[in-house]
Every structure is written in C-alpha cells, then in structure tokens.
Amino acid sequence: MRHLKQITYTIFVTLLIFMALTTPVLAAQEANSSGESLTPIYLAFILALSIFLGFELISKVPATLHTPLMSGSNAISGITLVGALLAAGYDSEMSATILGTLAVTFATINVVGGYMVTDRMLEMFKKKGD
Amino acid sequence: MNLALVINLVYIVASVMFIFGLKMLSSPATARQGNLLSAGGMGLAIIFTLVNQHIIAYQWIVLGVVIGTVVGVAAARMIEMTAMPEMVTLLNGSGGLASLLLGWSEYQRNQEVVVFSAFVIALTALIGGVTFSGSIIAWGKLSGKLDGKPVLFNGQQIVNMLLLLAILVCIIFFTLNPINGLIIFLVLIGLALILGVMSVIPIGGADMPVVIALLNSYSGLAACAAGFVIENNLLIVAGALVGASGIILTNIMCKAMNRSLANVLFSGFGSVVESATGQGEQGEAKPINTEDTYPILEAAASVVFVPGYGLAVAQAQHTARELGELLEENGAEVKYAVHPVAGRMPGHMNVLLAEANVPYDQLVEMDDINPIMETVDVCMVVGANDVVNPAAREDETSPLYGMPIINVDMARTVIVLKRSLGVGFAGVQNPLFFKDNTRMLLGDAKSSIQGLVREFKEA
C-alpha cells in the first residue's frame, strides 16, 4: 500500500516537472512572436518545483550512501558544462571564448571526476555473498 | 521540427534521468545503476548541446574537454578512499569556479543585458566565487596543509558585515548599470573570493562534514544561478537538485552534532569547550590486553563494531573486517554501527568499510542499533570517542549534552580500542571509559585487532 502511494507520488511529481520544463519552450516561442519575455517567471517556477523534488528524493537516501550521494550530486552540478560548451563555442570576443574554455575545463573535471569516483565507490558496496 | 525544440526535449529527458538516478540512490543495491543513469543523462545533454547551430568553433571546446577529462580521470582513479573528503571538496570548488567563469564569459560576450540578467550574472559570480575559495580553504584544512583550528579574531563579525555590505553595493551598482560595469564586476568577484575564505576559516576541523555538505549545496546553487543567466532549464533543475541535496545533508550533520547551523558557522567549537572540562577523572579505567579480550569475544553471540575516524587513521578497516569474519565463523552475529558524523564527511566510514569488503547489509545506522543495544554481547569501539560518550545523554553540564550518540555503554561488555586515555575531538572527558562494563584495550588499533585475529587463528 505504502509502495503504491510512493509510485503515485513519484509519477505526480515527475509530471509536474515535465510540465514545468515544457512551458518555457512554448513560452519562448510565444515570446518570439510577441517580443515580450516571460522567461524569468517560468524559470523561477521550475526552480521552486525542482527544490521541492530534490528534498523529497534526497531525504530517502540512507546515511550509508551519503558520501557517494555527495560526489554524485557534485557530478550533476557539473551540468554547467552545457552552458560552458556554448560559451566556448560561440564566435564571439576572445575574452569570452577563453573564459568559456576555462569553464568547460573545470566543469568537465567536475562531471568526469565526479561520476567516475562515485562509480568507484558504489562498486565497493556489495551484499553478503556477492 | 525545429532544432531548439529537440534540444529542449532532450534536456527534459536528461533531467528525468537525473531524478531517477538520485531516486535509485535510495538503496545500495540499485545505487550504481542510478549513478550510471545519471551519467547517461549528462552524456545525452552534452551531445545534444554540441549539435547546437550557434556553436561554430569546436577547437576550444575540444581543448577544454580534453584537459578536464584527463584531470578528472586521473583524480578519480588515484584518490585514496580515506582522502574522499578532500576530493569532494575540490570537486565542489571546481563546480563553483566553472559557474563563475560561465557567468563572466556571458557578460564578456554581451554587456548590454537587461536588469534581471545583470542581477543573475552578479549572483552567479558571488555564489561561484564563495564556493571556489571556501572549498580551497576547506581542502587545506582537511588535508592538513592549513591549521585545522578555527581562526577567530576580534572584530571578525564587523569585517564580515562590511564585506557583505560591500558585496551588496557592488551587486546593486552592477545590476543598474551593467554596460560599463566590468570594474565593479571584477571587484565583486574579488569580494566573493574573500567572503569564501572568511566564512570557512572560523570553522574547526571537526565541523568539516557540515562545511563540505554546505559547499556541496552552494556548488548546486551556483549552477542554478548560471542557469538563470543563460536561461537554461536543465541547469536550473540539476542545480536545484544538488542545492537541495546539500542542504539536507547539512541539516542531518547539524542534528547529529546537536548544534544549529549558525553555531557551526560562526563560533569555533574549541572556544565553547574549554569552560566545561573541569570534571576531571570519574573513576578508574580498566585496561585489558588481547589475551584477555579473546575469551570475551570467543563467547559472544553478537558483536557490534563502532568505528570512528581513528579506524581510518590507523588503516585498521581491513583487519577489523578480518576479525569480523572470524567472529562470524565462530557463530557470532557481527554488525558495524556507524554514527552520522563519524569520519570526515557524511557517510565516509561506510565507504571505508565497503572498501574493506564489509557487506552493506552489515552496516547499520545509529537509529537501528540503539533499540537493540541491550541485547548485544560485545561492543568494539574502534577509534570513536565523542559519538559514544554517554555524557551526551546523562550529563546536562557536558558540552555534548543532547547530541544523539550510539549507546554502546548499554551493551553487556564494551571494549574500547584507543591509543591512550586522552580526550576526543571536542576535548571532553568520556565517562564511558570508567563504566563497570568497559574495558580499555590501549595501543594502536590496527595492531590490537591483529593481535585478536592471531588469537583466533591460533585457537
């Protein structure tokens, strides 16, 4: 019964996130035609929902896995890489490109280092008899 | 179909993969796949970002990715598990710096930004800068390159207040006039770096788990702020997930130490403690040697190891597991009980025990072991002190009073493996050592356990 409730809840929250994520795409197209931007509001909407979801997800992680959780979530925060790739790849001023390239470097360290070290740790967690 | 829409849809898929990846982290059985799922989401997001038509110069991207990958792989492979707190701290700093650089780069590319964009650029620089310099200081303290003692001086709060005020002024000026604001922006970055240093130096070595968790949260918030700068929903979702994660861990750490976050951040623990250690000895500790410990363990039907950071320092985790296996062969039920703040970061001891091949079903949390502690025959306390101090439960005058502890003193016999009869991190006397059911096995934890292993093998 509790399990069922959990699944329903997860689906519900995922749907919310989905809605929140799709709205700005539509909003951006809307804004293109009207010339006015509503983006900050939608972005803030996403932020609120994601924080809520984050709290729900993380509070379920057992203390045993808190170190891998930290290094793994660290790797996720390397998502800055997505923005950095654009910053380094645009044909713009040299200073912007250099800063973008540096951002790519550090974000890549975060992503690659974070996921690999997390995998290395989680690999060691074995059940009895494995 | 338009490309921007496809990319945005892929970003949605990626964020769902992050979410499920984190969800799978709720059990050690699925955690590894969860991490791979999350990494897959990241890979997907990166690949689809690269097909963006605005990217025309790939050589710089390749350069950055190659350097980053080499450093990342080398660090992830070579790092010792005991040094995991340092690694995570450096990764936090790297993430904060990346966000700072991204915000700066966006500003260099286009200085004619609207008020909202200017504000989030300033915010990205602030959070990213604090995360970066704070992490470097935390790393210095953890690795012993800097003194772990809290740095406190007169007027510290005033200096910090002025610093915050200056930052606020910079943000306001920059937001109102971003077009010619490069100087103010650079000053802001400088101030943010100083703020990071100032906020970590007053925090003592024992409080580092809280700081790491908090910096983890900041690195997520920095990514989040960067997401507002480039108006990218994926950065916001991922950053918010990490931010929330760090805040929850910070909260758990604070609760486990029975202190408020404000207390951890603004007062060195050492200064609190000095007034409260005047109780002196409370009886006589009863020493024991390995030969006399053996029959106690041999007769035990249940044994619980309570490891602290001392176990890692003595590199005794492998020997402890060996002893645990011998005890199991002898018919005893063996568990390892880990306190939430044992080690140098949340969950650190669990990783070290897992590295020593302790199965995760034998790792139990404080709240699960305490109710059954009275049925435990022998509790082996290895390198833990404050987290098993009964004063936290019994003595209202103790600075530890109210902190949740593992109630080892309620077991039938407690064997404390310890280098000497000194005090723990908090500098507080431990009445556990003087209880009737406690025996002190003094000496290096590793050689003591090796001695016990030998006794078992010879018997």
DSSP states along B10-48: HHHHHHHHHHHHHHHTTSHHHHHHHHHHHHHHHHHHHHH
- Determine, for residues A110 and B94 on separate chains, whether the beta-carbon distance falls below 8 Å: yes
CB neighbours of residue B272 within 10 Å: 14
3-state secondary structure B232-244: CHHHHHHHHHHHH
Q: Assess whether B315 and B449 both reside in one domain.
A: yes
CB neighbours of residue B1 within 10 Å: 6
Q: Assess whether B158 and B223 both reside in one domain.
A: yes
Q: Is residue B204 part of a domain?
A: yes
Cross-chain CB nearest to B35 (options A43, A87, A115): A115
Instruction: Give me the active site residues of B, please.
Output: 386
Q: How would you classify the pairing of strands B363-365 and B378-382?
A: unpaired
Q: Assess whether B10 and B131 both reside in one domain.
A: no
Contact B307, B335 (CB under 8 A): no
Q: Is residue B62 part of a domain?
A: no
The tens place of each residue's pLDDT in chain B, 459 residues long, gives 577 788 888 988 998 899 999 999 999 999 999 999 999 999 999 999 888 767 778 888 999 999 999 999 999 999 988 889 999 999 999 999 999 999 999 998 888 888 888 999 999 999 999 999 999 999 998 888 888 777 778 778 888 889 999 999 999 999 988 888 899 999 999 999 999 999 888 887 778 888 899 999 999 999 999 998 988 889 999 999 999 999 999 988 888 887 788 777 776 544 444 434 444 556 677 888 888 888 888 888 999 999 988 888 888 889 999 999 999 988 889 999 999 888 778 888 999 999 999 999 899 988 889 999 999 999 999 988 888 888 888 888 877 788 889 999 899 999 998 887 766 655 667 888 888 888 888 888 888 899 989 888 887
- Determine, for residues A116 and B60 on separate chains, whether the beta-carbon distance falls below 8 Å: no
Residues of chain B contacting residue A78, judged by C-beta atoms under 8 Å apart: 42, 95, 98, 223
Q: Assess whether B380 and B437 both reside in one domain.
A: yes
CATH of the domain at B348: 3.40.50.1220
Work out how many domains chain B is built from and give that number.
Answer: 3
Q: Is residue B109 part of a domain?
A: yes
Among B220, B243, B276, residue at a domain's last position: B276
Domain interval for residue B98? 91-276
* Burial degree of B265 (CB within 10 A; 0-12, 13-18, 19+): middle
Q: Is residue B101 part of a domain?
A: yes
Residues of chain B contacting residue A67, judged by C-beta atoms under 8 Å apart: 84, 88, 345-348, 350-351
User: Across the beta sheet with B438-442, what order do the strands follow?
Assistant: B363-365, B333-338, B302-307, B378-382, B413-418, B438-442
Q: Assess whether B307 and B187 both reside in one domain.
A: no
DSSP states along A11-65: HHHHHHHHHHHHHHHHHHHHHHHH----HHHHHHHHHHHHHHHHHHHHTTS-GGG
How is chain A split into domains, by residue range?
1-60, 63-130
Q: How would you classify the pairing of strands B438-442 and B378-382?
A: unpaired
For B81, residues 6+ apart whose C-beta sits below 8 A from its C-beta are A121, B351, B352, B355
Q: Where are the beta strands (DSSP E) in B266-389?
A: 302-307, 333-338, 363-365, 378-382
Q: Assess whether B378 and B295 both reside in one domain.
A: yes
